[in-house]
Structure 1
Amino acid sequence: MAPLSVRLGIAPAERRRGNPARRAELGLVVFASLIVTAAYVVASIGTTAKVPPHLAVFLAIVLGLGLLAHLGTRYLAPDATPVLLPLVLLLNGLGYVTLASIDQPNLYPPSLQAMWTAVGVAGYVVTLLLVRRTRDLDRYRYLLVLVAVFLMLSPLIPHFGYAVGAYDENVRLWVHIGPISGQPVEFAKILLVIFFASYFAEKQELLSIPTTRLGGRLVTDPRPLGPIVLVWGFCMLVLAVEKDVGFAVLVFVLFIAMLWTATGRAGYLLLGVVLFGAGVVVASHLFPQVDSRIADWLHPWTRVNLPGGSYQTVQGIYGLGSGGLVGTGMGFGQLSAIPLVGSDYIFAAIGTDWGLLGSTAVVFAYLLIVGAGLRIAQTARSDFAKLAATGLTVILGIQSFFIMGGVVRLLPDTGLTLPFMAYGGSALVANYILVGLLMRISDEGNRPALARAATASRVDGDRQEAPSSPAEPLSPAGTR
Structure 2
Amino acid sequence: MTQAPVQALFVHRSRRGAELFLLLLALAVGAGAYAAVGIGIEGEVPADMIAYSGWLAALMIVAHIAIRMTAQYADPILLPVVAALNGLGLAVIHRLDLARDTDFARQQLIWMTLGVTLFVLTVAFLRDHRVLQRFTYTSGLVAIGLLLLPLLPVIGNTVNGARIWINVAGFSFQPGEVAKLLLVIAFSGYLVLHRDALALAGRRLLFVDLPRGRDLGPVLGMWLISLGILVFQRDLGSSLMFFGVFLVLLYVATERPGWLVVGGTLFAAGAFMGYQAFSHVRNRFEIWLSPFDYIDRTPGSGQLVESLYGMGWGGVLGRGFGEGQPWRIPYAESDFILGAIGEELGLTGVMAVILCYGIIVERGLRAALICRDGFGKLVATGLASIVALQVFVVIGGVTTLIPLTGLTTPFLSYGGSSLVANWVLVALLLRISDQARRPLPGTPSSYDDGTGADDEATQVVKVVKP
Same fold judged by TM-score > 0.5? yes
Give the alignment partner of residue 87 of structure 2, picking from 90, 93, 107.
93
Partner of 2:66: 72
Q: Deviations over 1:351-379 (max 9, x none)?
A: 00100111111111111111111101101
The offset of 1:470, in angstroms, is: 6.1
The alpha-carbon deviation at position 104 of structure 1 amounts to: 5.2
1:132 to 113, 117, 127: 127
Q: What is the match of residue 189 of structure 1?
A: 180
Structure 2 unaligned blocks of 5 or more: 1-11, 446-461
1:39-79 residue CA offsets vs partner (Å, 9 max, x unmatched): 11111001101111222212211111111111111111111
Give the conservation status (yes or no) of the 8 Å contact 1:108–1:423: no
**1:263 corresponds to which residue?**
254
For 2:30, the equivalent position in structure 1 comes to 36
Q: Structure 1 residues 249 and 228, CA, compared in 2 at 3 Å: closer, same or farther?
A: closer
Find the partner of 1:84 among 66, 78, 82: 78
Task: Report what 2:374 is aligned to.
Answer: 383
Moved over 3 A (4+): 104-108, 211-214, 217-225, 304-308, 451-454, 469-473
TM-score of the two chains, using structure 2 as the length reference? 0.88
Q: Which residue of 2 aligns with 1:294?
A: 285
Any residues of structure 2 matched to 1:7-406 within 5 Å, and which? Answer: 20-102=14-96, 103=98, 109-165=104-160, 170-210=161-201, 220-227=211-218, 229-230=220-221, 233-304=224-295, 308-406=299-397
- Asked if the contact 2:306/2:328 (under 8 Å) is kept, the reply is yes
Deviates more, 1:301-310 or 1:376-385: 301-310
Q: Distance in 1 between matches of 2:283 and 2:443?
A: 53
Could you tell me which amino acid in structure 2 is paired with residue 75 of structure 1? Answer: M
Alpha carbons 2:317, 2:347 under 8 Å: kept: yes
Letter in 2 for 1:164: V
2:456 equivalent in structure 1:
none
Structure 1 runs not aligned, ≥5 long: 1-17, 455-468, 474-480
CA contact under 8 A between 1:240 and 1:248: conserved in structure 2?
no
CA distance in 2, matches of 1:238, 1:255: 15
Q: How far apart, CA to CA, are the structure 1 residues paired with 2:387 and 2:204?
A: 39
Q: Partners in 1 of 2:102 and 2:195 — Cα distance?
A: 47
Root-mean-square deviation (CA, aligned residues, Å) is 2.5
Structure 1 residues 104 and 161, CA, compared in 2 at 3 Å: closer, same or farther?
farther
User: Matched residues in 2 for 1:129 and 1:114: separation?
Assistant: 22
Distance in 2, matches of 1:53 and 1:157, equals 45
Distance 1:193 1:232, change over 3 A: farther
Partner SS for 1:449? coil
Aligned length: 436
After TM superposition, give the deviation of residue 471 of structure 1 in Å. Answer: 7.0
Partners of 1:374 and 1:345 in 2: how far apart?
A: 27
- Deviation of 1:308 after TM superposition, in Å, equals 3.4
Cα distance change, pair 408–451 in 1 and its aligned pair in 2 (3 A): farther
CA distance 1:61–1:382, shift in 2 (3 Å) = same
Cα offset, 1:30, TM superposition: 1.0
Hey, what's the Cα distance between the residues in 2 that align with 1:312 and 1:107?
Answer: 19
Identity over aligned pairs, percent = 39
Aligned counterpart, 2:451:
none
TM-score under structure 1 length normalisation:
0.86
Residues 225/132 of structure 1: CA separation in 2 closer, same or farther (3 Å cut): farther
- After superposition, the Cα gap between the structure-2 partners of 1:39 and 1:87, relative to the gap in structure 1 and judged at 3 Å, is same
- Asked if 2 retains the 8 angstrom alpha-carbon contact of 1:207 and 1:220, the reply is yes
Letter of the 2:32 counterpart: A
Deviation at 1:236, TM superposition (A): 3.6
What is the deviation of 1:270?
1.7
Provide closer, same or farther for how the CA distance between residues 395 and 42 of structure 1 changes in structure 2, counting only shifts above 3 A.
same
Amino acid at match of 1:40: Y
1:425 corresponds in structure 2 to: 416
Range moving further from structure 2, 53-62 or 322-331: 53-62
**For the residues of structure 2 that align with 1:416 and 1:91, how far apart are their CA atoms?**
17
- What CA distance in whole angstroms lies between the structure 2 residues aligned with 1:370 and 1:213? 33
2:402 maps to 411
Q: Which residue of 1 aligns with 2:4?
A: none
Structure 2 CA distance for partners of 1:145 and 1:355, relative to 1, 3 Å: same
Which secondary structure does the structure 2 equivalent of 1:301 belong to?
helix
Secondary structure, in 3 states, of the residue corresponding to 2:201? coil
Q: CA deviation at 1:228?
A: 6.3
- The CA deviation at 1:202 is 1.2
Deviation of 1:240 (Å): 2.4
Larger relative contact order (CA 8 Å, sep ≥ 6):
2
AA of the residue aligned to 1:25 = E
1:305 Cα deviation from its structure 2 partner = 5.3
Q: Closer, same or farther in 2 for the Cα pair 1:241/1:124, shift >3 Å?
A: same
Please give the alpha-carbon distance, in whole angstroms, between the structure 1 residues aligned to 2:314 and 2:128.
46
Evaluate the alpha carbon distance shift between residue 30 and residue 257 of structure 1 in structure 2; reply closer, same or farther with a 3 A threshold: same
Q: 1:380 to 1:41 in 2, by over 3 A?
A: same
